[in-house]
């Protein structure tokens, strides 16, 4: 099979398509012929070697995919073979075949394309875990979504709108601002032309927001933390600020993260605020919970409430360009790589 290997930590150019043996499923695994690959910022961080649990090069990158089950392990009970699935692999999906635990795959609805399947699980589970499970958001509460035109951002906007939140979204271009607004953001702010904190204070008459969903970190973090109203909940699930258009290493990442002011726990009591952090890639032992969440999300997909937004589709032979487009924020929604059958 063909697979995209990280030959050394670095920029998109370190990816190289090589021949590799088709993996053999373990007793609790399924073997999937990959049809589409969903790119996530975790793939960028893994390529640079700063994502938790990243192997030493060379290794096959990739955590999200859709495709067809072509073989099952001896202990597998969920699948028999032939099913169309979407799944989460932690590593290894940048390939024509991938093996995953059966609990990390979900059957595609009949009306969902492979491209949509590769764009669904990670971003909608991120949105669900953040604003439903952790923030317990309520109708009428004010929700700030950073990177609102990205994959997870748009998923959060869609889900938050369905739950009745008043949504404030930030993005870096007028095009992205309009996309966030078209998918449900009541107030969309271009952070390159406006101070988003000042705008939100103006719109809310200094109230601020009840929930922040932040995948950016860095300087955005302090300004957003100060926007939280009493009983506010901060959800930090990414650090995209550490990955720009240039090179990245652990020292540079540490420098960017160091500008985020530390929290002194006793201050949380008098401030009446809270903060949650999560990383789906390192959250283990919760497969049952995520399967139930996926079922709820797929019901909303069936009702037309949730709709994956695919910004651009690249062929597998152009996976380097796909990574470059994602890292430099040239696209909206999800970046998908299509694997030829």
Taking only the tens place, the pLDDT of each residue in 101-137 is 999 999 999 999 999 999 999 999 999 999 999 999 9
**pLDDT of 37 above 80:** yes
Looking at the DSSP bridge assignments, the partners of residue 171 are: 190
Average pLDDT, the chain: 93
3-state secondary structure of 213: strand
**Residues in CB range of 279: below 8 A, 6 or more apart:** 52, 237
What's the confidence (pLDDT) of residue 243? 63
What's the confidence (pLDDT) of residue 4? 98
Q: Ramachandran region of residue 86, left (φ > 0), alpha (ψ -120 to 50) or beta?
A: beta
Q: How many whole angstroms separate alpha carbon 165 and alpha carbon 306?
A: 15
Give the DSSP letter string of 107-133: EPPTT--HHHHTTTHHHHHHHIIIIII
CB 17 within 8 A of CB 89: no
Using pLDDT thresholds of 50, 70 and 90, give the confidence band for residue 252.
low
Tens-digit pLDDT profile for residues 76-101: 999 999 999 999 998 999 999 999 99
**pLDDT of 245 above 60:** no
Provide the percentage of residues in the chain whose pLDDT is more than 90. Answer: 80
Which tokens sit at 40?
């996530």
What's the confidence (pLDDT) of residue 72? 98
What's the confidence (pLDDT) of residue 340? 80
**pLDDT of 250 above 80:** no
DSSP state of 15: E
**pLDDT of 249 above 60:** no
Q: How many whole angstroms separate alpha carbon 317 and alpha carbon 156?
A: 31
Distances (CA, A) of 35 to 81, 137, 145, 275, 297: 15, 35, 31, 38, 22
Contacts of the segment 111-115: beta carbons below 8 A, 24+ positions apart: 111/302, 112/86, 112/301, 114/35, 114/36, 114/66, 114/67, 114/84, 114/338, 115/36, 115/66, 115/310, 115/313, 115/336, 115/338
Phi, psi dihedral angles at 114 (to 5 degrees) = -60, -40
Distances (CA, A) of 202 to 164, 185, 186, 195, 206: 21, 17, 14, 11, 6
User: Which of 148, 260, 280 is CA-nearest to residue 214?
Assistant: 148
Tens-digit pLDDT profile for residues 141-196: 999 999 999 999 999 999 999 999 999 999 999 999 999 999 999 999 999 999 99
**pLDDT of 258 above 70:** no
CB 323 within 8 A of CB 39: yes
In this prediction, residues 253-266 reach a mean pLDDT of 74
Q: How many whole angstroms separate alpha carbon 336 and alpha carbon 313?
A: 5
Distances (CA, A) of 30 to 268, 279, 300: 45, 24, 27
């Amino acid at each position: 099979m063909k697979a995209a290997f990280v030959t050394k930590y670095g920029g998109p150019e370190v990816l190289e398509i090589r021949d590799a043996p088709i993996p053999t499923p373990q007793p609790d695994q399924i073997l999937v012929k990959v049809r589409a690959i969903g790119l996530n910022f975790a793939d960028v961080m893994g390529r640079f070697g700063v994502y938790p649990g990243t192997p030493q090069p060379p290794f096959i990158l990739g955590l999200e995919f859709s495709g067809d089950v072509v073989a099952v392990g001896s202990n597998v009970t969920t699948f028999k073979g032939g099913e169309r699935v979407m799944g989460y692999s932690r590593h290894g999906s940048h390939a024509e075949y991938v093996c995953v635990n059966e609990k990390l795959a979900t059957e595609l609805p009949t009306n969902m394309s492979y491209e949509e399947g590769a764009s669904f699980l990670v971003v909608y589970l991120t949105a669900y875990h953040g604003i439903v499970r952790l923030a317990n958001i309520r109708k009428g509460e004010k929700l700030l979504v950073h990177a609102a035109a990205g994959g997870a951002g748009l998923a959060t906007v869609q889900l938050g709108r369905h739950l009745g939140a008043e949504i404030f979204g930030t993005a870096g271009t007028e095009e992205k601002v309009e996309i966030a607004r078209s998918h449900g953001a009541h107030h969309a702010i271009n952070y390159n032309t406006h101070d988003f904190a000042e705008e939100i204070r103006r719109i809310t008459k200094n109230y601020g927001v009840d929930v922040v969903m932040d995948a950016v970190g860095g300087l955005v973090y302090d300004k957003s933390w100060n926007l939280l109203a009493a009983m506010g909940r901060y959800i930090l699930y990414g650090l995209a600020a550490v990955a720009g258009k240039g090179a990245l290493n652990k020292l540079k990442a540490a420098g960017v993260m160091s500008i985020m002011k530390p929290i002194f726990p006793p201050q949380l009591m008098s401030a009446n605020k809270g903060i949650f952090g999560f990383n789906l890639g390192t959250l283990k032992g919760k497969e049952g919970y995520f399967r139930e969440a996926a079922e709820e999300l797929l019901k909303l997909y069936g009702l037309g409430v949730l709709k994956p937004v695919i910004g651009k589709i690249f062929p597998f032979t152009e996976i380097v360009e796909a990574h470059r487009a994602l890292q430099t924020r040239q696209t909206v929604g999800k970046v998908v790589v299509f694997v030829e059958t």
